[in-house]
Structure 1
């Protein structure tokens, strides 16, 4: 893993452009070895690493996790809301129009001090050596913070760290190879630009804003217990897993147990941060969020065992525990913070 300089952000009142100042490293409480779910999803993981790289704590912006729902075929693929990133960290995230070479756009935006978030092919990402690197074409998102087109080298945030790509990997990522650069049938990638336009909130202003965000997002929580709704369809899903085999089970595990469990582990981190900054929540609520995270891993192991034995498992005990923990967590948070119900026009 390539190490990068940790920086903080400040705005010079005599100059609209941002400047960076050296900051002390933060304790890395997310993505640690003690985590139940060390990885969440590609978009969340890169933002966690990017915020750490900027010298910012990623925990305050995790209040949105109370909105996760069962979407019928997956649990919400949770992502930091752009509005929350702007409010708390002074960072504006906008879609970038790609019409020239991808390399030209990234060079221009990085030159301006921004980070470019781009959907890439893991085939060319050296940090995916254990999975897709040079073996499979898997879409993922990375955040590019430095690029040298002459040396053909870039650095990027992805998964659990900060890495570099160069040579053939750089050419593949930037679509400079003959088979990619000259192929008009390949669509431009989806790209976003993260611009740090204001100083992040700090102190009491930050903690009050996070508490208000918690009330706001609790007002957007699912109308019904999403785990109860998942449970209704779970037996049929297990049959499908057994029928379709290991590859399908891998995708199912990522999009259901992992997204649910990792989401509530992130909520636990947010509640811990709130407690550290004057907004304590009952221990039963924090315990319930961790229970969901750990029970999802138990459920995933049970499904893996069912696959090996070729026998269905209703996972009734795990689902009982998940349903009860969800009620304890969400009802306890509403009792502690209240909620701002959305206005229906």
Structure 2
């Protein structure tokens, strides 16, 4: 144990445990059977927040059809604020930070809101296997409760709900003198999540979710993103081989993981639409899910290539992904159409 770290200052609670056992988790998006149990920090905390509020996070997943290849990464997918507001009555707005972060978080949480804030994983006890007290890595958490007197807060991050106290609390909120008095540190980006009206239910919810699907199908990429990826894939592999494991760790997160996790979420969203009366051919759901598993295979193959120092073109994986993407998007256009066509 490192000096000055009180390991009993933290309480870890996995998703669905420690007081959350009675909360329904339809679809169990972070379940042990998930291909990509973690997607990205922002998406994962929203999934857990919605479950906490007894809402189904699958209803708002239509936006995942818009993911594109951005040249050096796949779109970092996250719930659009407008979709969250329409379906769940939840408004997300940027916070003005000018006082201590602790003061602002306490004020907003005290008003019944959740606060999403960028923090340093160095102080996050749930990252003990990776960054905790080892490295400084930016991530986003959702603060649910805070007690400044006890210096204790509960937060959502990745696939669970956790508690931080003592040194971790002071580090997260920049109360330690070396953080508080450092003029070179910029204020963190923070958002306030306000539940301003009741969420949609029943047919109103499913109709709105289907309308979101048609709207997002209007925003499909012009070219199959996998096709664009494979055009530069060999060059990417050469770079990964030259730069080694540390670089590949980031590459794996931002490309195969984001692509695979995104389409795994789409498969859950399509399952939800099917459960609520919309015709979604099973083959479309299966193809979206297959993209998740194939991205996992591709990532393993790339990791092996980096370890061995020998390139792997992953042609079979890219063939499967390219074909599955076409089947999914064309199938959805046939089933739902585009918003622009529907209102033409």
Task: State the TM-score bracket (shorter-chain normalisation).
Answer: over 0.9
Which residue of structure 1 aligns with residue 329 of structure 2?
330
The 5-angstrom pairing of residues 18-37 of structure 1 reads 25-27=24-26, 29-37=28-36
Which residue of structure 2 aligns with residue 95 of structure 1?
94
Gaps of 5+ in 1: 8-22
Which residue of structure 2 aligns with residue 52 of structure 1?
51
- Secondary structure of the residue aligned to 2:339 is coil
Relative to structure 1, the CA distance from residue 24 to residue 153 in structure 2 (aligned partners, 3 Å threshold; closer, same or farther) is closer
Which residue of structure 1 aligns with residue 111 of structure 2?
112
Shift of 1:341: 3.6
The 5-angstrom pairing of residues 245-324 of structure 1 reads 245-324=244-323
Which residue of structure 1 aligns with residue 9 of structure 2?
none
Shift of 1:27: 3.7
The 5-angstrom pairing of residues 40-189 of structure 1 reads 40-189=39-188
- Secondary structure of the residue aligned to 1:117 is strand
Gaps of 5+ in 2: 1-11
Superimposed CA distance per residue, residues 90-137 of structure 1 (whole angstroms, 9 cap, x where no aligned partner): 000000000011000000000000000000000000000000000000
> Normalising by structure 1, what TM-score?
0.93
CA RMSD between the two structures: 1.4
Which residue of structure 2 aligns with residue 219 of structure 1?
218
- Mapped partners of 1:146, 1:32: distance in 2: 25
- Mapped partners of 1:292, 1:25: distance in 2: 27
Shift of 1:283: 1.3
CA contact (8 A) 1:6 1:55 kept: no
- Mapped partners of 2:252, 2:288: distance in 1: 19
Which residue of structure 2 aligns with residue 20 of structure 1?
none
Superimposed CA distance per residue, residues 177-212 of structure 1 (whole angstroms, 9 cap, x where no aligned partner): 010011111000000000000000000000000000
- Mapped partners of 2:251, 2:215: distance in 1: 31
- Mapped partners of 2:234, 2:332: distance in 1: 31
Corresponding pairs, count:
327
Which residue of structure 2 aligns with residue 340 of structure 1?
339
- Mapped partners of 2:263, 2:229: distance in 1: 16
- Secondary structure of the residue aligned to 2:141 is strand
- Secondary structure of the residue aligned to 2:240 is helix
